[in-house]
């Protein structure tokens, strides 16, 4: 294999359901399962999270490196972290297709880990994929094959062989990340193995790639690899379609490697998004929501059409990666819902939603000693199924944030208002804000310590609208708050500062 581990990601594509359902994917899933069984789930700390499962609220079938379709109708990704294949297929049909996620057809989207192989201290044996032999000490991976001269050890000059100074780009790109053996992507022989493998996946029906640890690979080397990739398989994609690419680059500023170096290759993860939004909603250092009026590039974030954004991810919700204590997660549900709601209401970036599992946190001196705990499992180590209760929530230790009413309905909101600019901004110069999306939708947030009661111009057509946060439209009825928009587009909004739902959202498809 080209890499130490493959992370397999799924996303649904829009279209009418056929009798085939997901049957075309079954042979691929069977093969993926067979391969994944061979990967030790936790051989080393740095080998955690081998399998990440995503479902994309897809834009369409025509993919490029930056966007998914020239006519977008679905606008968000949900990361079903550590879900079983069978549960993903069920969720597509029973839930995602009905709630704006377009779960109709499924293709495989691969998280490509080709910056490194396994940890240098992993020893040797036949514990590789498909029982392949490896010897980490000798840098010997005959199943690829990779040998000692395929790694960057001679270039790295640190005493440990690891990255010791992130201000030194040579170390960042040629030394080991936490002891992981660093591949020489600048060598033709190494590149060719990576390219051949990625093209093999494309030929099987892969739609795109997340490039793991892209920060530790020279952008020009990634560019060469991407330039050699095949177009997507015309059995499932429009002729000439290119793989969708996004790259994991942690750039909080002040380091030698910058996100902008990777823009030419595809979208890039914007880690400052969740860090800064969390600080605002927590009201740290005098921050307030009124400051979000110019949210986006002016906050030293990358251009919107390059940004891949999220409130939290599988790493920083555990204190790993980047973001620190400001990151909001499901452990802070009220603020978390507000953060995700704001992200989905605002036009900046390409959004991803987290769907997590519970673990027994043990916070000591600011550190979670149980940050390593894996997904809900049986005594034999197999992952537990995702149980759906009668009220639609998940059981068996699965959090399922994507099923929370507020988040689910804001995914639909984002679909409805897609492409429209922010209009009618209002704030109280503190932590009450509101804005519209050019006559398609309107949101109001109250993160203040006092009640909100205000009459605002919404830009919406006159009528009665159902607030999709406190409830939803069901036929001609509304299960939540009703908002009356007058002929002049004005509407009265009220949110108690202690309310369960600290924001209101209305849109043209929620009109009664």
Longest Cα separation, the chain: 76
Which of 82, 91, 221, 248 does the annotation list as catalytic? 248
Distance, CA of 351 to CA of 332 (rounded, Å): 20
Angle among Cα 320, 81, 69 to the nearest 5 degrees reads 105
109-125 burial, b at 16+ Cβ within 10 Å, e below that, comes to bbbbbbbbbbbbebeee
How big, in percent rounded to 5, are the helix, strand and coil portions of the chain? 30, 25, 50
Distance, CA of 478 to CA of 474 (rounded, Å): 6
Helix (H, G, I), strand (E, B) or coil at 423: strand
* Active-site annotation holds for 162: no
Q: What are phi and psi of 194, to 5 degrees?
A: -65, -45
Distance, CA of 180 to CA of 142 (rounded, Å): 18
Q: Are 508 and 440 within 8 A, CB to CB?
A: yes
Distance, CA of 407 to CA of 438 (rounded, Å): 21
3-state secondary structure 198-245: HHHHHHHCCCEEEECCHHHCCHHHHHHHHHCCCCCCCCCCCCCCCCEE
Which of 87, 212, 251, 401 does the annotation list as catalytic? 212
| Number of CB atoms found within 10 A of residue 246's CB | 24
Whole-angstrom CA distances from 511 to 104, 441, 478 are 27, 10, 9
What the block records as the tokens of 486 is 């007058």
Total count of residues recorded for the chain: 512
Q: 485: which DSSP letter? A: E
* Active-site annotation holds for 212: yes
Distance, CA of 291 to CA of 276 (rounded, Å): 11
Q: Which residues are catalytic?
A: 212, 248
């Amino acid at each position: 294999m080209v890499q130490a581990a493959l992370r397999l990601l799924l996303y649904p594509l829009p279209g009418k359901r056929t009798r085939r359902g997901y049957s075309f994917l079954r042979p691929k899933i069977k093969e993926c399962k067979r391969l994944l069984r061979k990967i030790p789930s936790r051989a080393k700390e740095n080998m955690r999270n081998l399998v990440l499962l995503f479902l994309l609220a897809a834009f369409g079938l025509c993919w490029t490196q930056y966007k998914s379709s020239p006519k977008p109708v679905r606008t968000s990704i949900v990361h079903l972290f550590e879900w079983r294949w069978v549960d993903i297929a069920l969720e597509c049909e029973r839930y995602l297709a009905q709630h704006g996620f377009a779960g109709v057809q499924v293709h495989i989207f691969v998280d490509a880990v080709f910056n490194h192989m396994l940890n240098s201290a992993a020893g040797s044996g036949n514990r590789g994929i498909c029982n392949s032999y490896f010897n980490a000490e000798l840098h010997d991976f005959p199943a690829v094959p990779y040998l000692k001269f395929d790694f960057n050890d001679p270039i790295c000059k640190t005493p440990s062989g690891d990255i010791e100074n992130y201000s030194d780009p040579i170390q960042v790109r040629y030394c080991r990340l936490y002891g992981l053996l660093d591949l020489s992507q600048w060598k033709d022989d190494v590149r060719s193995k990576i390219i051949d493998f990625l093209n093999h996946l494309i030929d099987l029906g892969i739609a795109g790639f997340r490039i793991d640890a892209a920060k530790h690979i020279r952008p020009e080397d990634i560019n060469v690899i991407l330039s050699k990739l095949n177009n997507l398989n015309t059995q499932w994609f429009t002729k000439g379609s290119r793989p969708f690419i996004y790259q994991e680059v942690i750039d909080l500023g002040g380091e030698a490697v910058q996100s902008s170096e990777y823009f030419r290759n595809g979208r890039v993860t914007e880690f400052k998004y969740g860090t800064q939004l969390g600080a605002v909603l927590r009201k740290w250092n005098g921050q307030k929501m009124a400051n979000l009026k110019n949210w986006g590039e002016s906050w030293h974030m990358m251009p919107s059409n390059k940004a891949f954004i999220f409130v939290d991810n599988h790493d920083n919700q555990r204190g790993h990666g980047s973001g620190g204590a400001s990151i909001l997660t499901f452990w802070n549900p009220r603020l978390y819902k507000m953060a995700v709601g704001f992200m989905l209401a605002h036009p900046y970036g390409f959004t991803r939603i987290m769907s997590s599992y519970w673990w027994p946190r043990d916070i000591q001196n600011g550190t979670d000693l149980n940050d390593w705990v894996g997904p809900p499992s049986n005594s034999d180590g197999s992952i537990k199924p995702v149980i759906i209760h009668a009220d639609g929530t998940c059981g068996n230790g699965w959090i399922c944030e994507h099923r929370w009413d507020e988040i689910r309905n804001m995914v639909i909101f984002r679909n409805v208002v897609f492409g429209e600019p922010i209009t009618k901004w209002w704030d109280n110069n503190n932590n009450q804000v509101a804005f519209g999306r050019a006559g398609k939708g309107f949101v109001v947030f109250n993160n203040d310590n006092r009640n909100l009661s205000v009459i605002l111009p919404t830009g919406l057509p006159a009528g009665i609208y159902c607030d999709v946060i406190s409830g939803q439209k069901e036929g001609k009825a509304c299960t939540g708050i009703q908002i009356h928009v007058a002929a002049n587009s004005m509407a009265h909004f009220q949110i108690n500062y202690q309310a369960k739902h600290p924001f209101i959202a209305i849109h043209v498809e929620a009109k009664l």
